[in-house]
Amino acid sequence: MAQFRFATHFSQQLSAPYAGVRRIGDKLEDSWKPKAWLSIFYGLVIQPFTFLYVNKAKLFWFYLILIIFVTLIDTKLQAIDDTESWHHNIYFTWLFLIICPIHAYLICRGYDKGQRKKWYAGWLPTLVCFVMFFAFLSLVRAFIYEPFSIPARSMSPTLNPDDQVIVSKSGFGNYRYFGLQIVKKAPSKTLKRGDVVVFQYPQNPQIDFVKRVIGLPGDTVIYRDKSIFIKPSCMDESANCPGFTEVAKEYKFTDSGAGSEHEYYKESLDNDSYVIKLNSNQKDLSERYFYQVGTQTDEWLVPDKHYFVLGDNRDNSLDSRYWGFVPESNIIGKIAYVW
């Protein structure tokens, strides 16, 4: 019995230090508190992510969604070309440079040390989360979707100045990030007639244009008397190849104003229908058309791996009629969403 009491006492002595270490460790974990100065710094630099640092994930998601929403509003307002407007060069997202640091600081002041510290509540995990999030957005913009703003009226009435568009880039092989070429390879996707695309202007690749695809590689296109005629590509000329077909258009209405008269038509090309704008008082500027050897002045044979594009505002568009064809390698992507 004495031996048993001695063994029990000895085992308790051995286990006590380990139990004490565990309790001390728990106490250190529970007593963690975010640094006020760092929460303010993160609030200024990586606004919503400062709430991960102060152990408030719900606030992080709240501010992240709110910032995205306000950014969309700012983008729309700043796209309006009116330097006299009250909101010109004023961004509502600037408010978060004040709100986030102050809110994070107040959380630090009243921080409850007894709450459980999550894995993201630390200066390094928070920074890693921000870097991963930024990298994800960069990859999406470079390779999948990219926003663009419409600056001119060449695609009116389909697209007007200040419209914002999202371009689907995946599969077109021309991947850039804020004008910097990341990757350029052969496209795995092809376009169809009627698609609205964004591309690098062949005569100045630093400028992006948006137009509608009218002619595919091998097609012959005629633009005459404000009408389009297309002869589809035919691989075997000995076969029964189709001839020229006029692209159907249906009169919609006339808009008179500013000393000119514009007519709107519903044009149907393959399976797409859209509205075009014509100026009945302006003649076709055929003397300025791009000349292709072996064809008439208003006729073009689309080369292989190239496209013929037009603006929907036919009498106010600098397009393939005046400078030629778009190489497929210049195609950035196809418009997927407009707002």
Lowest mean pLDDT among 42-56, 59-73, 236-250: 236-250
Cα separation, 305 vs 96, in Å, equals 48
Of 39, 56, 154, 156, the catalytic one is 154
Contact criterion met (CB below 8 Å) for 231 and 209: no
Among this protein's residues, is 286 annotated catalytic? Answer: no
Q: What pLDDT does residue 203 have?
A: 95
Is the pLDDT confidence value at 84 over 80? no
Cα separation, 329 vs 186, in Å, equals 7
Which 3-state string (H, E, C) describes 200-256?
ECCCCCCCEEEEEEEECCCCEEEEECCEEEEECCCCCCCCCCCCCEECEEEEEEEEE
Which residues face 256 on adjacent strands? Answer: 261
Of 39, 156, 169, 211, the catalytic one is 211
Among this protein's residues, is 185 annotated catalytic? Answer: no
Average pLDDT over residues 255-277: 85
Task: State both tokens at 159.
Answer: 């697209």
* Amino acid occupying residue 128: V
Is the pLDDT confidence value at 336 over 60? yes
Average pLDDT over residues 184-210: 95
Is the pLDDT confidence value at 286 over 50? yes
Q: Cα dist. 247→231, 240, 250 in Å?
A: 10, 21, 10
pLDDT tens per residue, range 231-246:
998 876 666 788 899 9
Is the pLDDT confidence value at 9 over 90? no
Nearest C-alpha neighbor of 104 from the set 39, 45, 21, 170: 39
Q: What pLDDT does residue 5 have?
A: 47
The pTM of this model reads: 0.81
* Amino acid occupying residue 14: L
- If one compares 74 and 158, the residue with the highest pLDDT of the two is 158
Cα separation, 165 vs 205, in Å, equals 20
Task: Quickly state the pLDDT bin for 259 (edges 50, 70, 90).
Answer: low
Q: What pLDDT does residue 282 have?
A: 87
pLDDT tens per residue, range 317-332:
999 999 999 999 999 9
- If one compares 21 and 131, the residue with the highest pLDDT of the two is 131
Cα separation, 49 vs 52, in Å, equals 5
Q: What pLDDT does residue 27 have?
A: 44
Q: Which domains are present in the chain?
A: 36-143 (no CATH), 154-338 (2.10.109.10)
Cα separation, 231 vs 223, in Å, equals 12
Q: What pLDDT does residue 184 have?
A: 93
Cα separation, 204 vs 163, in Å, equals 23
Average pLDDT, the chain: 88
Task: Quickly state the pLDDT bin for 21 (edges 50, 70, 90).
Answer: very low
Is the pLDDT confidence value at 95 over 60? yes
Count the Cβ atoms, other than its own, within 10 Å of residue 38.
16
